[in-house]
Chains A and B, each alone.
Chain A
Amino acid sequence: MKLMTLAAAAFGLIAGAAAAQDWPQGDVQYIIPFGPGGESDITARLQQPYFKELYGKELVISYQPGGGGAVGWSQLNTMPGDGSVIMGVNLPHIILQPARGNVGYQTDDITAVYMFHFTPDAIVVNADSPYQTLEDLVADAKANPGRVTFSGSGKGSANHLAQLLFDEMAGIQTTYVAFGGTGEAVTALLGNQVSAEWGYTTVGKAQGDQVRMLAVAMEERHPAFPDVPTFRELGYDLVSGAYRGVAVPKSAPEEVRKAVSDAIGAINANPEFRQRMLDGGFALIDIPYGEAMDAFMAERKTTYLNAAQRAGLIQ
């Protein structure tokens, strides 16, 4: 395992060095279509020093918040395609937003070149909550339809979708309260304003023993939380979360797309970076530009759109 990581790192470095001959020409603008402090910002900040280490150029992070990311993504293709601008890109956002209404871009307008990590959905409760296990929560929700309240980040978001799907699977009815970002949703949870939170594994990591995770929506348990069961183990077939990656403007030529993809891949291969990401509760993935990305996006699109339809989020 260790050897493979090292090999991957070495490969990444070589790939990065080869691309570095013509890219980047100067500092690279890394636009986060959200405000500071969220998962997109934090992971970009974690990438920042390794980019400089690789290329000797700055990765300049700026924020273009608005419309749950839609403002940034709708403007992505008007930006220069010479590799001087890259933008953070999130799933399910770029699939669900255009499906739910006119937000100024279509999913296929976004040229994602690398998906580098994801945050698995998780049900989080306050440390002093009466729910010790997921079954406690389900039993309460069955006895009192609608009275169990969940905080979560945004409407029509990964958290919201997970809530709708889980309600259907468990045959329960709960109430979802949308907050403006994970920070606000966690605040409501810590203040006992809601019964539980639909959040991510990152919340469990950041809040430590102030909270308890009841289950995570992963295929296997998260290495940082060996004691927290997956939904599958408990009999609910729920594997979901939010994926994050990097996109370039449509006008970017093939070499630039490839070079950016290689750069993010090289950072992802750095063992120190990987450790920091895992410490933060993130889960790493490697979907580079090319066939892998096309297949990934097509698969995700079908999955999210089906789920959203089942949940009644889209017609």
Chain B
Amino acid sequence: MIEHLLAALSPLNLVFALLGVAAGTIIGAIPGLTATMAVAVLVPITFGLPPQSALILLGAIYTGAIYGGAYAAILLNTPGTPSAIGTTFDGYPMARRGDGDLAVSVACLSSVIGGLVGALALLLLAPPLARAALAFGPTEYFWLAIFGLSLIAALSTGDFIKGMIGACLGILMAMIGLSETSGEVRFTFGSQTLLGGIEVVSALIGLYCIPVLIDLVARPDRHLEHPPETRGFRLPEALRILWVERINALRSSAIGTLVGALPGAGGSIAGLVAYSEARRVNRRPPPYGEGNPGGIVATESANNATVGGGFIPTLVLGIPGTPPDAVILGALLVQGVRTGPALFSGASDIVYTFIFGLFLATVLMLPVGLLIGRFAYGAIVRAPKSALVPVVAFMTVIGTFAIRNSMSDVLLMILLGVIGWLCKLRGFAVSPIVLGLILGRIAEKGFVQSWTIGSAIGDLPGQFFGRPLSLAIIAMTALGFIYPFWPRISAWLRRRPAAPRAAQEAPSRARVLLDLGAIGIMAAVAITALVQSAGLGRDAAVFPRTIAIAMLVFCALAALRTLVARIVTDEPSSGSWPRRIALPLVMLIAAMLVPQIGFLASGLLMGLALMVVAEYRPHRPSGWLILAVSVAVAILAFTLAFRDLLAVPLPAGRLF
């Protein structure tokens, strides 16, 4: 063991671990750049390296990228990677109230803990955990996805019915395109763009980030509370939080390791499950979803634990636990390293050196992560709105493009952003839609496979409800769904009137009509899905049809409530309409100009236009010039980094 530890600590490996973590953190911080892409880009560099060093470099990048996703989640309400969705729930509220620096430090410490627990499990428990992961069949993945969806009860910000409608909408969106389990093309309305389905990361960027940008330009006030003075890393405070949340951190790390070891799940589910559990047992104010640091601890420790966890099936079974693992597996094969049980038992220098390298990278993440986090926080807090908006908007465009090298994805991202913003306005929270979009595919696949196997063996109920692991997940799901309603249920059980709701004034006629209109549109989506399903085969139609019917039922319930009880939940947005409309419009026009004048040219045009849209203070010409130059330099820097460092084929058009 010791010799492997020493091998991992060679100067070359130390440098690689440090560089890898730093590069990974920066890449992960940019929405759209995922750990998968970061690792894929760097694989060729590793061909010339000894296998151990190559693996350490790749593992360090991966670790850093998963952590880096937390910055955008906390500071821009935009999960940089799907693993960081749960980080937005409490991280962004903390940043809004001026605790963004604290949130970033808490995320860093939690990530280090999660990473260490995951790596420890990889070192000590890999073969048994890999066996355990195999017990998860299609049925268990189906129930696990449903368990993740149970978070909707908590995430729908006070309106459960609208949350469920949003989740159904998300699931139906996930059904778009060529289906894996049936081989049929669904809900594309003849569009080539939709054939491959809605890309999850670009949808995340659109649904989370565009509404933030729209609200940013609506009013002249600052993006985040400005801290009164520089408070450093607020490390003592963060350490105290971690000490209070130590059980949470360890439980979430364990969940992250286990879920990470499941080849069909991955970081997003791990974070959500850990968040859900932390929320259920939390007794400390403020409530989860309103800026409780416990939520960050749960998600960030869980998602970094999936790094070590995901390597378990990758190295033991040769089956990648997560998409970045798949890339690393490919790199290993090129290096001539064959994975499988022999790798652990036999001559396993490479594996153990690699695991110690992972420890090393995780520990290095503490100083590197804190430093970069401090810088990111400072940049976002200090930047004037008129610089922040265009640069972030450009980041969303270039990040979305880089995922599949597709301009159609960019247009779709902006449109989804507008849809998300409108949904939010009418009281349909974005998070349930996103959950539906991510978990819908996993749920459908598991459902159809279980259905097929259950029918074949002639025991459908047994397949879905007779497996012990499934039953355990079902029980946890029931708890997750019921928990948010527990205060009311317990009051009812004790035959006492529930705590009176805050007296609401009767909604105006206009608000009632708008609410009914929004519910009507949702119902129309469900009916469209039903009609379209009629032309599909059984395997392709069963899941979307079920969801569409459920969506209609929820729409009917919501309409009834609005009409009878006169309860309307919505989230009014105030501020300048011209600016709010201009933001997505400028982005759409710029995206459409790309094929003509090129990516950089339209990016610069967009940046300068958005600078004007976002600026409220008057400037002298020299002030405008300085602003314009800084925005242009930032956009140029991003473009060059993407094009030359990451080899993203940005369209050049007629100009540049």
Contacts and interface: CB of A to CB of B under 8 A. Distances in A.
Interface stretch (B22-30, B228-236, B325-333, B631-639): B325-333
Contacts of B190: 102
Given A70-B196, A187-B264, A46 B334 contact: yes
Residue among B177, B179, B452, B456 with most chain A CB within 10 A: B456
B108 to A, nearest CB: 28
Contacts of B406: 64, 75
Interface in A29-84: 29, 31, 35-38, 41-42, 45-46, 48-49, 52, 58-68, 70-71, 74-75
A46 B333 contact: yes
Given A104-B192, A183-B319, A70 B178 contact: yes
Interface in B437-480: 445, 448-449, 452-453, 455-458
B340 interface: yes
Contact of A66 (B196, B313, B449): B196
B342 interface: yes
Contact of A180 (B405, B445, B452): B445
B40 A62 contact: yes
B342 A178 contact: no
A253 interface: no
By size class, the interface of chain B is 35 or more
A63 B405 CA distance: 9
Given A68-B180, A103-B178, A49 B453 contact: no
Nearest to B45: A58
Contact of A36 (B40, B182, B197): B40
Interface in A74-105: 74-75, 85, 100-104
B449 A36 contact: no
A206 interface: yes
Interface in A122-160: 146-149, 154-157, 160
A73 to B, nearest CB: 10
A302 interface: no
Interface string B387-412: 00000000000000000111000000
Query: Which of A41, A71, A100, A208 has the largest number of chain B CB atoms within 10 A?
Result: A71
Given A37-B326, A66-B197, A190-B134, A147 B181 contact: no
Interface string B33-57: 0001000100110010000000000
B404 A207 contact: no
A68 B183 contact: yes
Interface string B325-369: 111011101101011111000000000000000000000000000
Nearest to B458: A147
Contacts of A74: 192, 195
Top 9 A-B residue pairs of the complex, sorted by shortest distance between their CB atoms: A66-B196, A37-B326, A155-B183, A71-B196, A191-B134, A67-B178, A175-B456, A193-B137, A156-B183
14 contacts: A36-B40, A37-B327, A38-B326, A42-B330, A45-B330, A48-B44, A49-B334, A66-B178, A67-B196, A75-B192, A103-B178, A148-B456, A179-B180, A279-B338
Interface of A: 27, 29, 31, 35-38, 41-42, 45-46, 48-49, 52, 58-68, 70-71, 74-75, 85, 100-104, 146-149, 154-157, 160, 175-180, 183-184, 186-188, 190-194, 206-208, 210, 276, 279-280
